[in-house]
Amino acid sequence: MATLYHSPNSRSDAIAALVRLLKADVEIREVEIPRIDGSGGPDPDNPHPEKKVPYLVDGDEKLRERGAIITYLTDKYPDAKLGPLPGEAGRGAYLSWLFYYQGVMEPVIIMHMAGIEHPYMKSGLRDFDTMMKTLNEALTDSPFLMGEHFSAADILCSSPFFWLSSLVPEDGPIPDWVARCEAKMKG
């Protein structure tokens, strides 16, 4: 049986929700992590090389980074239909959203929350307003990132809005999308 190393109220919440939605044969094992407020600390029971979460161990496979874990799990548990498989329609868009989150959204949100602006960031990743515009455009005529179908890309890309609710705009399609995603994840 695979094991997901998870710490509540962290980046691994989205993966724990995914495991439940997939009805995956994955044990969720809670570990402690260092927190931004100074609480917590590295847990010796956490096998992640940097003592972070999420971390998935499935036999000899050891996965870190949410996009990689999501792809691995949605490919392994296709019956839940939370991500198109290789060769299926929408696979490219699905992977694009997962990698957009990892490569653009998360770094831009971290820089935004830290109050850091730099020309390299804006040139390479754009800025917070551009990221939000990208999400708004994708959701203007669709309830989810993949159109009518809720996917694991929605789980990942909506996740920062749950723990940083101050980022949710007052209007536009994002607040309703976040609410739809939350309803889907709570079942």
User: What's residue 95's pLDDT?
Assistant: 98
Write the burial class of residue 38 (CB in 10 Å: 0-12 exposed, 13-18 middle, 19+ buried): exposed
Separation in Å, CA 162 to CA 10, 96, 166: 10, 22, 9
Question: What is the number of alpha carbons within 13 Å of residue 163 lying toward its C-beta?
Answer: 17
Q: Phi-psi category of 63—alpha, beta or left, where left has phi over 0 and alpha has psi -120 to 50?
A: beta
Lowest mean pLDDT among 47-56, 118-127, 150-159: 118-127
pTM: 0.95
| pLDDT at res. 48 | 98
Is-contact 14 159, C-beta < 8 A? yes
> For residue range 172-182, what is the model confidence (pLDDT) as tens digits?
999 999 999 99
CA–CA dist 145, 158 (Å, integer): 10
Does position 187 have pLDDT exceeding 80, yes or no?
no
Residues of the chain with CATH 1.20.1050.10: 91-186
Domain 2-80 in this protein, CATH class: alpha beta
Q: Using one digit for the tens of pLDDT, what is the confidence trace for 23-42?
A: 999 999 999 999 989 999 99
Q: Where in the chain is the domain with CATH 3.40.30.10?
A: 2-80
Confidence band (pLDDT; 50, 70, 90) for 165? very high
Give the residue ranges of DSSP H helices in 23-172: 66-76, 91-100, 106-114, 119-125, 128-139, 152-163
Residue 163 has a pLDDT of 86
Predicted local distance difference test score (pLDDT) of residue 100: 98
- Mean pLDDT for 6-18 is 96
Q: Which CATH class is domain 91-186?
A: mainly alpha
- pLDDT (tens digit per residue) in 106-123: 999 999 999 999 999 999
Tell me the pLDDT tens digit for each residue of 77-107.
999 999 999 999 999 999 999 999 999 999 9
